[in-house]
Structure 1
Amino acid sequence: MHMTDFQLSHLIYADDLLVFGRADSLNCTRLMRTLNMFSNFSGLQLNLQKSSLIISPYVSCPNDISMALQIFNPSPKITYLGIPISLGRIKISDFDPLLEKVTSLLSGWRARLLSFDGRLQYIKYTITNTVAYWIRCSIIPKSICKAIGKLCSKFLYHGALDSRRLQLISWYNTCKPHSFGGLGIASLQGLHFAYNCSIIMRCYNMPSPLSKWLLARYYSPWKPPQANDTAFWKSICNSTDG
């Protein structure tokens, strides 16, 4: 399959819709006509105040596109389902909401009342599931992973994020399996590796728009990645070497 054989028009989750299209005013006018027709038949109205527009910097007529779509404040970055989406590289500061969420979960009054075993289970499931959601959508920088590990370590061993007591066991060793002396907590690196493996499995066993696009764009995860490939695909290819 070649890239010309596959096109992605939209992604939708509940009432959150992403639409992809050719960046010219005629195509955008047709899109708005289609959306208005859908609104007339369904009674569901498009809220332009809550809509966002991302335009490539290489587009020659951004003002015409904004006029056709009636969205007059294009942005290089949007948030979709809580995850930042950008035309360029995601910045470390874009992961602040993740750190704030983890900090809020670990510092809540209910979490502070847990025993050591309770805190262990809380990290294994509540915190891990929170971070796993971001891992499925982006590559978390090493500095953010280190910060999350530090927060979880303080919470697990001392029961408080503001503790100044020395930590005698590294978080790396804590996350090892029981057979290697750890507590069986899934490390962020392990979660990332598992997600990459699931993507490879889906490419060959569960046909979907994502798997079709990846195979059309990159052909095989066992081929060495090219210099201009995305960081996401390079990570997939690195997982096949593991």
Structure 2
Amino acid sequence: MSEGIFEGLRCTNGGPILSHLIYADDVVFLGRWSLENALNIRRILRCFFLASGLKVNLAKYSMFGVGINDEEIKFMADCMNCKKGSFPFKHLGLIVGANMNLIRNWKPVIDIFKSRLSIWKAKSLSYGGRFTLLKSVLNSLPTYFFSLYKAPAKVIDALERIRRTFFWKGSDDNSYMSWMAWEKVIAPIEYGGLGFGSLRNANLAMLSK
């Protein structure tokens, strides 16, 4: 990439050039839309195979174009012997290219919350057990999404409702008794709360970071 064989994307005027993102065995190539650029990627991957013996299966790859019409994307994908991709898509468990202001796109996070509670059969746990589970597991589940997207208020309310219901009764029964206001429960320990923390504040803090 540093030799100029593949032309990446410049982030800002005079800023660094972004050509690829790698996480474990997942790779995303980002570059200027041109046939020469695409073919050079194929040549680079061919050289990688010859040097390492690890062959890349292009049939599992997807080609995406931003601001490019579907016919041109299909043509480029055929030249690369890969699939034509479409937005939104999922990468490393995260939705890319979706409007995250829409509540329906947060459904995976809400579903994970609910599924984890059903796995643990929380109704049979004591308050101490529910407290530990909330602090160690459930509070960390939306972190991935919260670090990149601002959650709509209704999504935060839905997640807080799940946490509140889980802590006070541990099931989805219609009636239960809450012994303290939830705002007091999630407050820091030094202010008399249990230190669960507000999901809304966690979301804003992660985005600020």
- The aligned residue for residue 8 of structure 2 is none
Q: Deviations over 1:196-236 (max 9, x none)?
A: 34x3xxxxxxxxxxxxxxxxxxxxxxxxxxxxxxxxxxxxx
- 2:21 matched to 1:8? no
Structure 1 residues 2 and 163, CA gap change in structure 2 (3 angstroms): same
More helix by proportion, 1 or 2?
Answer: 1
- The aligned residue for residue 63 of structure 1 is 74
Displacement of 1:171 in angstroms is 3.4
Q: Return the alpha-carbon distance in structure 1 between the equivalents of residues 182 and 91 of structure 2.
A: 31
Q: Which runs of 5+ in 2 are unaligned?
A: 1-10
Q: Return the alpha-carbon distance in structure 2 between the equivalents of residues 83 and 5 of structure 1.
A: 26
Q: Within 5 Å, give how 1:163-242 maps onto structure 2.
A: 163-166=173-176, 168=178, 169-197=180-208, 199=209
Root mean square deviation, CA, Å: 2.4
Secondary structure of 1:159's match?
coil
- 2:167 matched to 1:149? no
CA contact (8 A) 1:77 1:84 kept: yes
- The aligned residue for residue 51 of structure 1 is 61
Q: Deviations over 1:36-70 (max 9, x none)?
A: 22123222232334322321134583233212322
- The aligned residue for residue 95 of structure 1 is 106
Q: Return the alpha-carbon distance in structure 2 between the equivalents of residues 47 and 143 of structure 1.
A: 42
Q: Based on CA coordinates, which of the two structures has the bigger radius of gyration?
A: 2
Q: Return the alpha-carbon distance in structure 2 between the equivalents of residues 173 and 25 of structure 1.
A: 59
Q: Which runs of 5+ in 1 are unaligned?
A: 200-242
- AA matched with 1:10: H
Percentage of identical aligned residues: 27
Q: Deviations over 1:92-117 (max 9, x none)?
A: 32222211111111111454432101
- AA matched with 2:66: S
The two structures have a TM-score, normalised by structure 1, of 0.72
Secondary structure of 1:183's match?
coil
Secondary structure of 1:186's match?
coil
Higher relative contact order (CA 8 A, sep 6+): 1
Q: Return the alpha-carbon distance in structure 2 between the equivalents of residues 191 and 153 of structure 1.
A: 16
- The aligned residue for residue 116 of structure 2 is 105
CA contact (8 A) 2:130 2:167 kept: yes
Number of residue equivalences: 196
Which consecutive segments of 4 or more residues in structure 1 shift more than 6 A? Answer: none
